[in-house]
Amino acid sequence: MTDTNPERTDGGTVTDDHGHDFPGTGSIKRWFVTTNHKDVGILYIVTSLFFLVLGGVLAWLMRIQLLVPRGPGETILGPLAYNQAVSAHGLLMVFWFLSPFAFGFANYIVPLQMGAKDLAFPRLNALSYWLYLFSGILFGVSFFQGGTFSGGWTMYAPLSVPTFTPDVGASTAVLALVLFVASVTVSSVNFLTTMHRMRAEGLTLRSLPLFSWTILLTVWMMLFAFAALLAALLVLSSDRLLGTTYFAMESPAGALLWTHLFWFFGHPEVYIVFFPALGVMAEVFQTFTGRRIVGRKWFIIAMVLVAIQSFAVWMHHMFLTSINLQVKTLFMITTIGISLPFDLMVFALIYTMLKGKIRFTTPFLFVFGALLLFIIGGITGVFLGAVVLDYEFRGTYWVVAHFHYVMVGGVTALVGGLYYWFPKMTGRMYDEFLGKVHFAIYFVGFNLLYFPLFVAWETPRRVFDYAPELAPWHQLATVGGFVLGLSFLVMFYNLFKSAFVGDPAPDNPWEYAHTAEWAVPSPPPLENFDGTPTYRNGHLEVIEAGEIAPRRDRSDTPAGSSVSADGGIAASSKTAVSTELPTVESTAVEGPSHASIWPFVLSLGAFLVLLGLSPLQEAAFPSGMAGAAYATTAVGGGVVTLGSLVAMGLEPFHGPVFEEGEAWPFSGIDNGKVGMWIFLASDVVLFGGFIGAYVFTRFAFGWTGWEPIPSDPIPGLVNTYILLTSSFTVVLALVAAEKQHKGALVTSLGATFVLGIGFLVNKGLEWQHLFHEGIWLSTNVRSSTFFLTTGLHAAHVIAGLIIALYLTARAWRGAYLEDSRSVEYFGLYWHFVDIVWLFLFPLFYIL
């Protein structure tokens, strides 16, 4: 790339792709190294559709089985295989299809709508995608390890522990989910930083387009909800692989513990999968009615309310457990509370049609159909909110029919979104006639599939033996399932063909579309805008790069913090958050990089680690060749992971330049710092989940009857001293870096590293001692909580030490004196780990 002029990098043009080693879209290599949000978006969409087919085939298998009630010997899938099909179908559809499908659009469209050239951390974005893909592959592998997980997508304990589901594949499926959550966490941090920090000037949150709004709220919910799921999954993995006994049937309230952790995630998840669909509906309704949405402000407020309340309704999934009446009442009230904002949103969409000029294009048909389906799903959901009715509907096809109407209703809207944005993404129009044919078949198939299930609601869920008189309804449903599935063939044919030979699409093929993605060419150039977009005059203008130069000084003036130049590298942790710091100065040397192979390699490494660990039971590999092969895989994967982390750290990578426009509420705080804090907020919930699990278990056990595991608090106290001291040395390191004191910087960082090692050694000795006394992870639930919670903390310490080591080495060679941000961000992480210990110590050692 000859584009070395700093001015030219923003504006530099680009109808075709940038030079410097960034291959064109035709090249296979491009898709492995790309970090561009639009490429990543397309990768997400294509991959998720693949998982749709996989989940769909499993659904077909089930529907065939359900054609008639089957006795024990008369099945097509054996009982266990059927359970696997139900579980894998649910998991695949919810996690590997629905959310990533929506996030394909989010990746592609959101930066365009908000006037950004890319996400804040493009490499992390690629990393999210690759982690997602490899998690899906890992899930696929689980089918071949004696059978995948068979305990339902809700994974209720204790069926989920190896006593009852002993297959290796079941562990692999759980680990695949862990990897998936890692992907989600990385992408939540990335999206939140981007959406809060990088909006074009004049584009306040209030005036953000509705699709972007839904994604923003979705990501907020994801950040916290998936952290709770991660806590649940890590505990479950530990029960499966290491032999802890949180969920064992002997554990006091282990089964309930899972339901709390799972549904605390699970209910927000309902909105996480639905909100993006709502956003698509809002955009498409406006575009094809030609009218602005009615009550936009209230629509947004309603969504915000839902997002907040979604964390306060989880126990409505537990009405039939032993929870008390007060709690039932409370959660019944919050449940009605959360349903009401949806009424408002639905009416807002309906009234938007009035006085419009509605064009029934394919996207509108799908979105309109989605609204119809959603209304049916919503009404039948009110039934479940009435606790007395829920008592009876629980575990029946009423629930199955209801959530398919809602979730697959959401899918319907997203399919509309696919048609809607297809011309933007490919630069070609799809075939309108075939699109309509697809809709017609789809809509008929949908209702033929799911409506009969309401009629046959007395069928218990997850069974294939049901009352014979219900068989006709199930047969209708099966036919509908095939119609629905086959309708997608029309779509695949249409889109595939059109991508190559469709009519060329203009910038804005939809006439009344108003959001910014329609203001740029189809497909948009690599860096989206031909300059810097701004809304300072109330509408989109793209300003030539030179014009805005004076505003640069405004871009980073953090209150009191010491931000200077140079893209450095900071921070990592369990999910490997490293940060690319896009800065003005660095691009003076080089144009934005769009390529990095390391996200791919890193994800491959993580995949191998988890695959290698999957056969563990009671912390031991199986004996023989297989065990050795697995262990080797894990170690090899570990090497690849670490190596690519370091490589990623050292790689000179520059995100596209951005001018700080609207950045509420984080204006003036550097992207890297915002990202770090967002990540830490999710880590708070992760540890919160672990500590919560401990408190809950201990409470069920009898609080005061619970003896702390270490008989002597002194080793813990010593470790408290060590950690506090190491926090202090990190503070000194930052002071040294700011004063540009290389010697002091290296010494302080080195001291931190040594102290951290001291912490681990001391802990190792303590554990050794306990093992000698015969106290092991699986001894009882007290020892399980002790080892696992402090173990998770120790893992955070280890991650911190790896970064500390890296920072020390780089500081030795003179880094961070100009730009101390990496040291600062590492400090934020390290102090957080310290704070966690400040609570673990009293809870596990002295109380």
Partner 1 sequence: MVMARGFGSSVPLQSGIVPRGSRAVVFDSIFEVFLLLGTLVGVVVLGYMLYNAYKYRFGSGNGDFDEADRLTVGELPTGGGGGRKLFTSFFMSMVIVVSLISWTYLTLLYVEEGPSAEDSLHVEVEGYQFGWRFTYPNGHTTDGVLRVPADKPVRLTLTSADVFHNFGIPALRVKSDAIPGQETETWFTANETGTYTAQCYELCGAGHSFMSAEVIVMPPDEYEAWYESTNGTQSSENTSAIHSADTNALQPTAPANAGRLTEVVV
Partner 2 sequence: MVSTKLYTAIYAVLFVSATIQVLVEFAGLNYWLAFGVIMVLSAAKAVLVAAYFQHLRFEPRSLTYLVSIGLIAALALTLAASYSLL
**Contacts with Cu ion in 260-279 (CB under 5 A)?**
267
Least Å from the CB of residue 716 to partner 2: 9
The residue from 78, 504, 814, 842 that contacts partner 1 (CB under 8 A) is 78
The residue type of 787 is F
Alpha-carbon torsion 541, 545, 547, 548, what sign?
positive
Q: How many CA atoms lie within 13 A of 480 on its CB side?
A: 18
Smallest distance from the beta carbon of 205 to partner 2, in angstroms?
Answer: 12
Of the residues 37, 38, 63, 821, which one makes contact with ligand HEM according to CB under 6 A:
63
Pick between residue 153 and residue 421 the one whose CB is nearest to ligand HEM: 153
Continuous segment of H or E residues that includes residue 534: strand 532-534
In the list 731, 802, 805, 809, the residue contacting partner 2 (rule: CB under 8 A) is 731
Q: Would you say 211 and 103 are in contact if contact means Cβ atoms under 8 Å apart?
A: no
400 binding partner (options partner 2, partner 1, ligand HEM, none; Cβ < 5 to 8 Å by kind): ligand HEM
| Euclidean distance between CA atoms 711 and 530, whole angstroms | 67
Does position 199 interact with partner 1 (CB under 8 A)? The reply is: no
SS3 34: strand
687 binds, among Cu ion, partner 2, partner 1, none (CB under 5 to 8 A by kind): partner 2
Q: ω before 521 within 30° of 0 (cis)?
A: no
Q: Does 702 bind partner 1 (CB under 8 A)?
A: no
Alpha carbon distance 581, 101 (integer Å):
28
Q: Using CB distances below 5 to 8 A depending on partner kind, what does residue 566 bind out of Cu ion, partner 1, partner 2, none? A: none
Residue 620's φ and ψ, nearest 5 degrees, are -125, 140
| CA distance linking residue 350 with residue 356, whole number of Å | 11
Q: Could you say whether residue 60 binds ligand HEM (CB under 6 A)?
A: yes
Sketch the per residue contact string, 426 through 465, with ligand HEM: x for CB under 6 A, - otherwise: -----------------------x-----------xx---
Residues 482-501 interacting with ligand HEM (rule: CB under 6 A):
484
Tell me the torsion sign for CA atoms 371, 376, 379, 383: negative
The site partner of 713 among partner 1, partner 2, ligand HEM, none (C-beta below 5 to 8 Å per kind) is partner 2
Report CA-CA distances (Å) from 132 to 51, 192, 196.
Answer: 11, 18, 24
Q: Which stretch binds partner 1 (CB under 8 A): 2-10, 356-364, 445-453, 597-605?
A: 356-364
Applying CB under 6 A, the span of 83-91, 115-123, 508-516, 828-836 interacting with ligand HEM comes to 83-91
Q: Is residue 831 involved in binding partner 2 (CB under 8 A)?
A: yes
> Does residue 665 have a cis bond before it (omega within 30 degrees)?
yes
**559 burial level (CB within 10 Å; 0-12, 13-18, 19+):** exposed
Residue with smaller CB distance to partner 2, 234 or 256: 256
Q: Which among partner 1, ligand HEM, Cu ion, none contacts residue 392 (Cβ within 5 to 8 A by kind)?
A: partner 1
| Cβ atoms of residues 641 and 103 within 8 Å | no
Q: Can residue 328 be called a binding residue for Cu ion (CB under 5 A)?
A: no
CA–CA distance, 356 with 289 (Å, rounded to integer): 5
The minimum distance between CB 480 and ligand HEM, in angstroms, equals: 8
By CB under 6 A, tell whether 89 contacts ligand HEM.
yes
Could you tell me the smallest distance in angstroms from the CB atom of residue 479 to ligand HEM?
10
Sole binder of partner 1 in the list 92, 186, 293, 669 (CB under 8 A): 293
Q: Which is nearer to ligand HEM, 104 or 716 (CB)?
A: 104
Which listed option, partner 2, ligand HEM, partner 1, none, makes contact with residue 232 (CB within 5 to 8 Å by class)? none
How is residue 684 annotated by DSSP? H
Q: Determine, following the binding rule CB under 8 A, whether residue 745 of this chain makes contact with partner 2.
A: no
Q: Which two tokens stand for residue 612?
A: 């290698």
Per CB under 8 A, the list member of 345, 406, 691, 746 interacting with partner 2 is 691
Residue whose pair of structure tokens reads 């004063």 in the numeric block: 739
384 binds ligand HEM (CB under 6 A): no
Question: Which positions from 52 to 91 touch partner 2 by CB under 8 A, shown as an x/- string?
Answer: ----------------------------------------
Closest C-alpha among 156, 182, 230 to residue 688: 230
- Interface with partner 2 (CB under 8 A), residue from 522, 727, 748, 808: 727
Q: How many CB atoms lie within 10 A of CB 24?
A: 10
Per the listing, tokens 């939809």 go with 510
* Secondary structure E strands in 413-531: none
DSSP string for residues in 147-162: ----STTTT-TTTTST
Among the residue ranges 272-280, 307-315, 506-514, 646-654, the one whose residues contact partner 1 (CB under 8 A): 506-514
CB of 847 to partner 2, least distance (A): 6
CB 658 within 8 A of CB 9: no
324, interface contact from partner 2, ligand HEM, Cu ion, none, CB < 5-8 Å by kind: partner 2
CB of 397 to partner 1, least distance (A): 11
Residues 6+ apart with CB under 8 A from 86: 62, 152, 153, 462
Q: Which of residues 93-112 bind ligand HEM (CB under 6 A)?
A: 93-94, 98
Q: Does 77 bind ligand HEM (CB under 6 A)?
A: no
Asked if 515 touches partner 1 (CB under 8 A), the answer is yes
Q: How far apart are CA 24 and CA 123, in angstroms?
A: 18
User: Do residues 160 and 187 make contact, with C-beta atoms less than 8 angstroms apart?
Assistant: no
Please select the residue that binds partner 1; options are 2, 26, 28, 355, rule is CB under 8 A: 355
| Sequence-separated (6 or more) residues with CB below 8 Å from residue 605 | 637, 638, 639, 640, 641, 642, 643, 644
Write the DSSP string, 605-659.
HHHHHHHHHTT-BTTBPPSHHHHHHHHHHHHHHHHHHHHHHHHHHHS---PPP--
Bridge-based pairing of strands 532-534 and 541-543 is: antiparallel
Structural contact between residues 383 and 393, judged by C-beta atoms closer than 8 angstroms: yes
The option from Cu ion, ligand HEM, partner 2, none interacting with 484 (CB < 5 to 8 A, set by class) reads ligand HEM
Among 333, 695, 761, 765, binds partner 2 (CB under 8 A): 695
CB 493 within 8 A of CB 434: yes
Under 8 Å CB-to-CB from 181, ≥6 apart: which residues?
Answer: 226, 229, 230, 233
Stretch that binds partner 1, among 30-38, 374-382, 582-590, 671-679 (CB under 8 A): 374-382
Closest-CA residue to 376 (of 405, 347, 349): 405
CB of 823 to Cu ion, least distance (A): 43
Quick one: what does residue 267 bind among partner 1, partner 2, Cu ion, none, with the CB cut-off 5 to 8 Å set by partner type? Cu ion
The residue number with the shortest CB distance to ligand HEM is 90
The residues binding partner 2 (CB under 8 A) are: 224, 227-228, 253, 256-257, 260-261, 264, 311-312, 315, 318, 322-324, 327, 559-561, 665-669, 674, 677-678, 680-685, 687-689, 691-692, 695-696, 699-700, 704, 713-714, 717, 720-721, 724-725, 727-728, 730-732, 735, 827-828, 831-832, 834-835, 838-839, 841-842, 846-847
The residues binding ligand HEM (CB under 6 A) are: 56, 59-60, 62-63, 86-87, 89-90, 93-94, 98, 152-154, 400, 404, 407-408, 411, 449, 461-462, 481, 484
The residues binding Cu ion (CB under 5 A) are: 267
